[in-house]
Amino acid sequence: MVKHQGFTLWFTGLSGAGKSTISGMLEQRLRAAGAKVEVLDGDVVRTHLSKGLGFGKEDRDENVRRIGFVCELLSRHGVISIAAAISPYRAIREELRARIPNFVEVYVECPIEVLAERDVKGLYKKALVGEIPHFTGVSDPYEPPLAPEVTVNSSKETPEQSVELIWATLERLGLVSFDRSALSHQ
């Protein structure tokens, strides 16, 4: 069993970088260890919590603030909240960091060329030729974190390797620890 306190694990990176995949795998590992955890995936949040918001800067900022508000509430009550959202603007992520205790930023890095190759919907190719306006990383800015607690690179690592790097960071920060007392009684 894992011992933990409430904290927020904030995944940021371009569309298709692997935020949802990696955060889902980490969620499964945490749940299997007995942790209380909730995932707020950017696509799901846009459908429910942020329905009606567009993709201009103000609406993107509002979307990220809403996700952050829910993460803050969950973390305050001892839940591990995992946000997987592009969250393109550094200032808003820093605003959340200042507001949410135990905020851990995970930058899921991946070059645009790799993302375009992976993209089964062809969104990057369309955005690169100007067919999709306001596409983060192409026609809209993406500001990578300056000092994330952990950076994973989905073009060089498997999702499993990324999960291991994140887990090691959480242990190093003292946010999760393995309860070894049960082992000594066997």
> pLDDT digits over 108-156, tens only?
999 999 999 998 888 998 998 999 988 999 988 999 999 999 999 999 9
Q: Is residue 33 situated within a structural domain?
A: yes
What residues make up the domain containing 97? 2-181
Q: Is residue 76 situated within a structural domain?
A: yes
Q: Is residue 50 situated within a structural domain?
A: yes
17 by Cβ neighbours in 10 Å (0-12 / 13-18 / 19+) ranks as buried
Q: For residue 8, give every residue at least 6 positions away whose Cβ sits within 8 Å of its Cβ, in sequence order, or none.
A: 68, 71, 72, 74, 75, 80, 81, 82, 83, 96, 100, 102, 103, 104
> pLDDT digits over 66-125, tens only?
999 999 999 999 999 999 999 999 999 999 999 999 999 999 999 999 999 998 888 998
Q: Is residue 48 situated within a structural domain?
A: yes
Per-residue tokens: 29: 């590992």
Helical (H) or strand (E) element with 39: strand 37-41
Q: Is residue 186 situated within a structural domain?
A: no
The amino acid at 105? E
**Residues 81 and 40 sit within 8 Å (Cβ to Cβ):** yes
Q: Is residue 25 situated within a structural domain?
A: yes
Task: State the catalytic residue, choosing from 87, 139, 154, 181.
Answer: 87
Residue ranges in the chain assigned as alpha helix (H): 19-32, 42-48, 57-76, 90-99, 112-118, 123-128, 159-172, 181-184
The rounded distance, in Å, linking the Cα atoms of 9 and 116 is: 26
Both ends of the chain: CA-CA distance in Å?
A: 14
Q: Is 87 a catalytic residue?
A: yes
Q: Structural domain tally of the chain? A: 1
Q: Residue with structure tokens 């242990």?
A: 171
Q: What is the CATH number of the domain that holds 68?
A: 3.40.50.300
Q: Is residue 17 situated within a structural domain?
A: yes
The rounded distance, in Å, linking the Cα atoms of 18 and 12 is: 10
Cα–Cα nearest to 173, from 154, 146, 148 = 148
> pLDDT digits over 30-54, tens only?
999 889 999 998 878 777 777 777 7
Q: Is residue 140 situated within a structural domain?
A: yes
